[in-house]
């Protein structure tokens, strides 16, 4: 049976600025969250943006069933995501969720999760789920610049980070 899809206004609890291009929106659902799996995403309605006509697809960064909240890690790419970055606690954001397929959870004892930039967004939720299933995630992250390295401690908690930090293009090429 397919999971239930919702169209809801969620309340912004917090807008956490990580750096110039990335922020996290923590959102409170008005009713119990539906079953959400790692790898699924939302479609966010951007209001008050004259050039943003379509909803923005955003990966679900984490889910807290006890608090009935979810987090979205967002990279500012254009006017739509810039407007989302202006939301404050108490504002609402209309979402369609959960959408898409989820990651397959393996039976291996250890897995490597690789992401870069905003591609790290779904990895935290996946790493948390793997840990709950007694699977050790090893996390390898790449960023364009040192300034964009964000949330390392937050992401590190559910898994083991690779000991090699890659923070510039020439280091990536050398590695």
**Which residue did the predictor score with more confidence, 150 or 85?**
85
Instruction: Let me know: does 119 contact 127? Beta carbons within 8 Å.
Output: no
Domain at 110-174, CATH class: alpha beta
Q: Tell me how far apart the alpha carbons of residues 28 and 50 are, in angstroms, rounded to a whole number.
A: 26
pLDDT by residue (tens digit) across 50-106?
Answer: 888 999 999 999 999 999 999 999 999 999 999 999 999 999 999 999 999 999 998
Query: What pLDDT shows up at residue 175?
Result: 37
pLDDT by residue (tens digit) across 10-25?
Answer: 999 999 998 888 899 9
Domain at 6-99, CATH class: mainly beta
Instruction: Let me know: does 7 contact 92? Beta carbons within 8 Å.
Output: no
Q: Dihedral (C-alpha) 105, 165, 19, 13: value to the nearest 10 degrees?
A: 30
Whether pLDDT at 1 is above 60: no
**Which residue did the predictor score with more confidence, 10 or 151?**
10
Query: What pLDDT shows up at residue 158?
Result: 54
Query: What pLDDT shows up at residue 119?
Result: 83
Please report, for the chain, the start and end positions of each structural domain, with discontinuous segments joined by +: 6-99, 110-174
Of the pLDDT bands very low, low, confident and very high (cuts 50, 70, 90), residue 164 is: very low
Its sign, for the CA torsion 120, 124, 127, 129, is: negative
Query: What pLDDT shows up at residue 3?
Result: 66
Whether pLDDT at 166 is above 70: no
Query: What pLDDT shows up at residue 165?
Result: 45
Distances (CA, A) of 29 to 12, 57, 97, 167: 9, 18, 11, 36
Instruction: Let me know: does 82 contact 64? Beta carbons within 8 Å.
Output: no
Whether pLDDT at 152 is above 70: no
| First-residue to last-residue Cα distance in the chain | 45
pLDDT by residue (tens digit) across 95-143?
Answer: 999 999 999 998 899 999 998 877 888 998 999 999 999 999 988 888 7
């Amino acid at each position: 049976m397919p999971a239930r899809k919702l169209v809801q206004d969620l309340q912004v609890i917090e807008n956490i600025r990580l750096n110039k291009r990335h922020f996290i929106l923590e959102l409170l659902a008005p009713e119990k969250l539906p079953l959400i799996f790692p790898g699924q995403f939302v479609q966010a309605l951007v209001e008050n943006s004259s050039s943003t006509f379509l909803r923005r697809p955003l990966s679900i960064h984490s889910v807290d069933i006890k608090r009935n909240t979810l987090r979205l890690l967002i990279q500012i790419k254009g006017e739509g995501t810039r407007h989302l970055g202006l939301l404050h606690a108490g504002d609402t954001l209309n979402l369609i969720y959960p959408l898409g397929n989820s990651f397959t959870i393996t039976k291996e004892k250890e897995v490597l999760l690789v992401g870069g930039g905003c591609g790290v967004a779904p990895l935290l939720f996946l790493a948390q789920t793997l840990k709950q299933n007694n699977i050790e995630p090893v996390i390898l992250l790449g960023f364009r610049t040192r300034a964009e390295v964000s949330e390392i401690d937050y992401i590190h908690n559910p898994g083991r980070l690779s000991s090699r930090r890659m923070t510039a293009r020439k280091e990536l090429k050398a590695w």
